[in-house]
Amino acid sequence: MGGALLHSLRLMRAGLVLAQHGVRFWPQGMRVPFVLHLARIATLPVTLITWPFRIGKPRERRISDALASLGPSYIKLGQFLATRPDVIGSGLANDLSFLQDKLPPFSMKEARRAIEDALHGKVEDHYVSFGRPVAAASIAQVHKAEVADPVSGERHSVAVKILRPNIERRFRADLASYYFAAQQIERFHAPSRRLKPIAVVDNLKRTTELEMDLRLEAAAISEMADNIVNDTGFRVPEVDWRRTSKRVLTLEWIDGIPVANKEALIAAGHDPRALGLKILRTFLRHAMRDGFFHADMHQGNLFIEDDGTVVAVDFGIMGRLSHIERKFLAEILHGLITRDFRRASAIHFEAGYVPPHHSIETFAQAMRAIGEPIHGRTAEEISMADLLGQLFAYTELFDMETRPELILLQKSMVIVEGVARSLDPHLNMWTAAEPVAREWVEQNLGIAGQLRQASEGAGDLGRVVADMPRLAQRAKGTLDAIDTIAKNGARLDKAVIRDMAKEQARAGWWGRLALWVGALALVAIAYSMLSQ
C-alpha cells in the first residue's frame, strides 16, 4: 500500500508539471482509478492559472519543456515513447520527436571523481589534458580531452563520455512508478492491453540499462566497425578500451561538420545530394545486410569529414533484425508493389503478426487501402509519415501485438529519410536502394548465398548444387529487374507493375522469392508496414 501511495504521489507530481505546461493526455475510455481522479482534479486549477503564460507556445514545445523539467528519466521516457506511435498515437509521438535530450552539465569535480572511481588513479594518470563538458544529456555528458601515445608521446584528442552521478538510482525509482502506471492502465483500460504497457516499460528498462553501461556502447561500436570494415564513405570512432569502463567511455574525437549545417557543408565543397544518398544507403546496408543498425541517426549524431566520409556517433540505441525478418519484410513489400495484397496479408498471418481469428481477406483489404495510394506516384511524393499513420490506425482494428524491434526499425527509417531529404529534398528511393538491393540479392539469393545457407545440412547442400543452373537464372532475373527499375525511374505505375508481374510469371515460385527481394529498392516503404 505504501509503495502504491508513493508511486501515485510521484505520478501526481508529474501530472501537475504537465498541467503547468498545458499538457493533458488521458486515454479515451479509460476507467480512471480514484487516486488518478484526484490528480486529474488537482491539475485543473494549475492549468487554468498558467494558461495565459502559454499562449502562442507550440504544442510540441509544451510537452518537451514539461518532460525536460521532470528530469533525466522523463526525457528518456519521452524519447522512447516517440518511437512508439502505436502506443501513444502518431500526433503525440510527433510532438515528442521535438524533445531535446539536453540538460545542464554536472560539475567538473563530479566528472573528475567519476573518472578516478571508474579508471582508478588520478585523472592525469589517464589524460594529458581534460576539458570542460562540451555536451550534456539526460544520461551522460561528454568532455574533450587529450591522450599521449605511449611510444611516440604524440598527443591526440579524445571524447570522454561520463554517466551522470547517481543516474542509476534515479532511473530505478522512476521506472518503478512507470511500472505502477502501466499496471493501472492494463487493469482499468482493456483496449490498451494488446499494446502491452508493462512490456513497453520492460523494453524501456532494457534500453536504459544498456545505455547506462558504456562498455556495451563501446561493444556496439566495435561490432559495427567489424561489419563495415570493407565499406567506404562511412566509419565509426575508434574505441580506447584502456580508458573505458561501465561509467566512462573514451573514443576518438571527431572533427567534422555536423550534417545539420548544410551551408557549411556546401562552403567546404561537399555535395549535399551525394551525402543524402550515402547516408540513406549506409543505413539500408546496415539494416538489410548486417541486421544491426544505428537506431538514432539524427542530424546531431552525424558528421562529415574533409574527404566526405560520414562518421556516426552516440551508439547508445542500436537495432537488430534477424535474417528471417528481413525476408518477411521483402515479401510484404513485394506484395505492395505488385498489388498482390492478399499475399502481403497472408505473410502477416504466417509470421503471427495478426491473430488467426481475423480474416486474411479483410486484412488484405486494409493492405490495399495502404498500398493503392502509392501507385502512380514518384518516390519523392510518398510520405513515410502518412504510411505509418495509416498502418498504426489498423493495428488496433486487427488486434496486432506490438513488435518493438520492428517499430524501432520503422522509426529509424523515418529519421534517416528525414536527414537524407534535408540534404536532397528530391531524393529518389529507388535509385538510393538499388545497389543495396543488388548486394543483398547476390549474397542471399544467388548460388553462393544458397550454398552458405545450405551448409548446415548435407542433404540441403546436394539439393542446392543440383539447382545451381536455376539459381543462377533466378538471381540474374532479379538483378535485371532491379536494373530496369533504376533506369526507368521511380514511378510505381502500371508499366512497372506489369514488368514485375512478367518476371514473376517467368521465374515461377523461386522467381517470386527473388522478386520480393528485388523489391527492396522500396525498402523504406516496407519499414512502414512493420507496426507489430
Cα gap 438→518, rounded to integer Å:
7
> 129: which 3 cell numbers?
589534458
| Residue 293 and residue 283 in contact, taking contact as beta carbons nearer than 8 Å | yes
What sign results for the dihedral spanned by CA atoms 416, 418, 423, 424? Answer: positive
Amino acid type, 229? V
108 closest CA partner among 72, 137, 133: 133
The alpha carbon dihedral of 211, 140, 308, 260 has a sign of positive
Provide the 3-class DSSP secondary structure of residue 54.
helix
Rounded distance, CA 296 to CA 340, Å?
A: 33
The H or E element that residue 319 is part of is strand 318-320
Amino acid (one-letter) located at 158: V
Distance CA 251, CA 244 (A): 9
Residues with catalytic roles: 296
**Torsion over CA: 188, 192, 196, 200 (sign):** negative
- Rounded CA separation 101/341 (Å): 41
Instruction: Output phi, psi for 163, to 5 deg.
Output: -65, 150
DSSP state of 307: T
As a whole number of angstroms, the distance between CA 139 and CA 372 comes to 44
Task: Count other Cβ atoms within 10 Å, centred on residue 495.
Answer: 10
Alpha-carbon distance of 161 to 240, in angstroms, equals: 12
Is 139 strand, coil or helix?
coil
